[in-house]
Amino acid sequence: MKSWTADAVPAGQLVLDRKRTSVTVPVTLPSGAAQGPTTWFTFALRFRVTFAEGGADRGSARVTASVNGGAAALVTLRSQADGVRVFHDGYLGGPRNTVTRDQTTDVVYENYVQTKGIRAGTGSFEISLEDRGALVQDIRIEPASGLYRTAADPEQLAISAPAQIDARVGEPVDLAYALSRRGERADRPVTVAAETAGGPIRLNREHTEYGSVGTGRTGSFQVIAAETGQYQIRLTAQGGYNQPTAVVLVVVKSARSSGNVVQLVAAGGLGLVGVAVLMSSRRRRHG
């Protein structure tokens, strides 16, 4: 479908370095342009980075892109003892987290644009280089970098959990949840993370990982509370275009009373003592 790319900009302006740190490309989106529900906008950032001599000892850099002020891309470059680490995680292009000793490397980043970045009329997208420590000699942006319109909607994750669970002090209780997804994109690994909002709440683990969602996933975390009260646990599904959350209220009551059992045992003990005394008394009389 239609695209707005950097090929309209002179090639010399697509080279970023310490002197030219950004390039702005004008775009005019059609009337009614919006992120979904039937038309979607993605952003592709493709470039070749050349590191400065001795760059492995020179701090870090970031290459970013935005559309009408809405974040569209982020690539992190960080020097370390064994080379330069290249990290990005575009939803469409997938994650990259590698270390290179080469003086040049190619980067391809693809993602959906933030909703606020899509609006009808005249606007722009900007690609910028932020270099801390002269790590980068230059980056050469490919003219195909830019904004693309598509009918393929992003995968949408959903997580459901009860609004409230009841617990008692010291007794484990299960917090169950369910994952579901829709969309035309490929299924991806997902992590369900659990986070407490303070208070004497303990979980048996902090997260659960799934290789895919498929037709749906279910799971649970075990919760143990040390004190009475009301506490919150936030569940977050991480790995899709969106990161849905569910907040669960945990209402903790006091531990179950064992008073009845104690009284019963005590009563039984007194009964046995009474029988023993009675039998002893009878023996003395018969003796």
| Res 260: pLDDT | 45
Q: What is the pLDDT of residues 179-208, one digit of tens each?
A: 998 766 678 889 999 999 777 999 999 999
How sure is the predictor about 262, in pLDDT bands with cuts at 50, 70 and 90?
very low
Considering just the CA atoms, what is the radius of gyration of the chain in Å?
31
Does the pLDDT of residue 269 top 70, yes or no? no
Residue with structure tokens 């009337």? 31
Mean of the per-residue pLDDT values for the chain? 85
Q: What is the pLDDT of residues 120-169, one digit of tens each?
A: 999 999 999 999 888 999 999 999 999 999 988 776 788 999 999 999 99
| Res 274: pLDDT | 38
| Res 275: pLDDT | 35
146's torsion region: left (phi>0), alpha (psi -120 to 50) or beta? left
Percent of the chain with pLDDT over 90: 65
How sure is the predictor about 93, in pLDDT bands with cuts at 50, 70 and 90?
confident
Q: Which residue did the predictor score with more confidence, 172 or 277?
A: 172
Taking alpha carbons only, the member of 248, 246, 238, 225 closest to residue 173 is 225
